[in-house]
Structure formats: structure tokens, C-alpha cells
Amino acid sequence: MTTTMTIPADTLRSLGLHEGDTLHIIAEKDSAFVVEISRHEEGLTAAQSKAATEWLRTSTGIVKLAPGETEDDVRVAYYREKHKLDS
């Protein structure tokens, strides 16, 4: 499901966001959110982007998933540990 909302610019301006950036909420702790900002690198060509995507798709075996565990579960656990957030 995708929801599009309008948030006042002043609320997000301090994050240095630009049009086209992707903001992903990693976790919520107390009265704050841990966010990841992805910005399209202007110098990245279509071929480089495809190569990076292919590498990610074919680099199996680096992380072992437990039965029923998803890539998203592993990513969230990584950020929780990295930012020392409670589960």
C-alpha cells in the first residue's frame, strides 16, 4: 500500500531533502524517528545502476536467513543494532 501525504516543508527542510529523494523510516524511539534517506546519484548511469542491481540480486550467501525470515527483517535488525534501538 502506498500513501501520499503533504508535509510542511519546514518540517523536512532540516534533513536536506531534495525532490526525488526517498525517505524510509527505520524505527521509532521515544519521540524521535530513525530515518534513512536515499538520493539518486546523478552521476550513476543506467548501466551502472543495472550492474549494482544485478550484484545485489546475485550476491546470495552473504546473509543467511532463518526459516520464515525476510530480507526486510534482517535489514531492520541491522539498523536496530546499529542505532542501539530497543526491539
pLDDT value of residue 44: 55
63, 72 in Cβ contact below 8 A?
no
69, 13 in Cβ contact below 8 A?
no
pLDDT value of residue 78: 77
Domain residue ranges in the chain: 9-82
User: CA nearest 83: which of 26, 38, 30?
Assistant: 26
C-alpha pair distances (Å), 30 with each of 37, 78, 81:
20, 19, 16
What whole-number percentage of the chain has pLDDT above 90?
Answer: 0
Higher pLDDT, 75 or 8: 8
**Alpha helix (H) ranges present in 1-87?**
9-13, 46-58, 71-82
Q: Kindly report, residue by residue over 24-78, the tens digit of the pLDDT.
A: 888 888 888 888 888 766 655 556 556 656 655 665 667 677 888 877 777 778 7
